[in-house]
């Protein structure tokens, strides 16, 4: 399907995928697809247009016509800077809801595949290795315990001076995991040929080393 090299990194919220993907894309000079941002954008656009997160047809229409620009330092939706708006816990929870709808996922498929351009792509998501890029040369499933992921998220929010409650964050993560893993369409699960890394007790550098070793083994670097 694609001859462009694709590195698919999947896993649950807060596993550190985003950080690893940014590092890899920078090191390799590859493009980066943050697929979660697309679902977050659909959720935020739906809110702007007063569309319920259960209205599958209207949401799929929004997804198919998403007017978005990914600029160097901001994300612009329908002319509005939504860089921060798509990162809130509410946007994440609503993204998880709209992402469980078949028509919404279908509407975003080709847009995601179009990110695979030379010299290569690092794709961050839940179904990169299973559905969107099944031919990816490198597939990684990055996970960590829910407690560790909640703790990382809590520290991240606190360091930004934002108000946060650890028990609330943990409950949100568990709820989101449950929905993402149990949905009928493209559930969060490792591809059969993915390298699974549990990074609960690992540093970012250690994870990066493991993934880079696999990339080298596959002849991409």
CB atoms within 10 A of CB 181: 12
DSSP 8-state class, residue 186: S
36: contact with ligand DC by CB under 6 A? yes
Tell me if 121 sits within 8 A of 115, measured CB to CB: yes
For residue 58, what are the contacts with CB-CB under 8 A and spacing of at least 6?
46, 51, 52
N- to C-terminal Cα separation, the chain: 21
Binding residues for ligand DC restricted to 157-186, rule: CB under 6 A: 176, 180
Number of residues that bind ligand DC (CB under 6 A): 14
142: contact with ligand DC by CB under 6 A? no
Minimum Å distance from CB 96 to ligand DC? 3
Kindly tell me which residue out of 99, 121, 136, 146 binds ligand DC, with binding defined by CB under 6 A.
Answer: 99
39: contact with ligand DC by CB under 6 A? yes
Q: What is the helix (H) or strand (E) element at residue 121, kind and residue range?
A: strand 121-125
**Of 28 and 53, CB closest to ligand DC:** 53
Kindly tell me which residue out of 35, 46, 62, 150 binds ligand DC, with binding defined by CB under 6 A.
Answer: 35
Strand-pairing partners, residue 138, are 7
The residues of the shown chain that bind ligand DC, judged by CB under 6 A, are 13, 35-36, 39-40, 92, 95-96, 99, 125-127, 176, 180
């Amino acid at each position: 399907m694609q001859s462009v090299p694709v590195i698919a990194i999947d896993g649950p919220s807060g596993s550190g995928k985003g950080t690893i993907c940014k590092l890899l894309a920078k090191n390799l000079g590859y493009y980066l697809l943050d697929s979660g941002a697309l679902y977050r954008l659909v959720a935020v656009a739906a809110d702007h247009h007063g569309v319920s997160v259960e209205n599958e047809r209207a949401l799929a229409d929004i997804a198919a016509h998403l007017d978005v620009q990914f600029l160097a330092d901001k994300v612009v939706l329908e002319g509005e800077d939504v860089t921060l708006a798509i990162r809130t816990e509410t946007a994440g929870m609503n993204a998880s809801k709209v992402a469980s709808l078949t028509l919404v996922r279908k509407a975003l498929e080709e847009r995601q595949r179009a990110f695979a351009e030379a010299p290569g792509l690092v794709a961050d998501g839940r179904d990169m290795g299973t559905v969107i890029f099944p031919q990816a040369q490198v597939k990684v499933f990055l996970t960590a315990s829910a407690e560790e992921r909640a703790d990382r998220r809590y520290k991240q929010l606190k360091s930004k001076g934002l108000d946060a409650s650890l028990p609330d964050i943990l409950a949100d993560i568990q709820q989101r995991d449950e929905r993402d893993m149990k949905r009928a369409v493209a559930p969060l699960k490792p591809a059969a040929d993915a390298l699974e890394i549990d990074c609960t007790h690992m540093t970012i550098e250690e994870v990066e080393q493991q993934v880079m070793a696999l990339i080298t083994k596959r002849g991409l670097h």
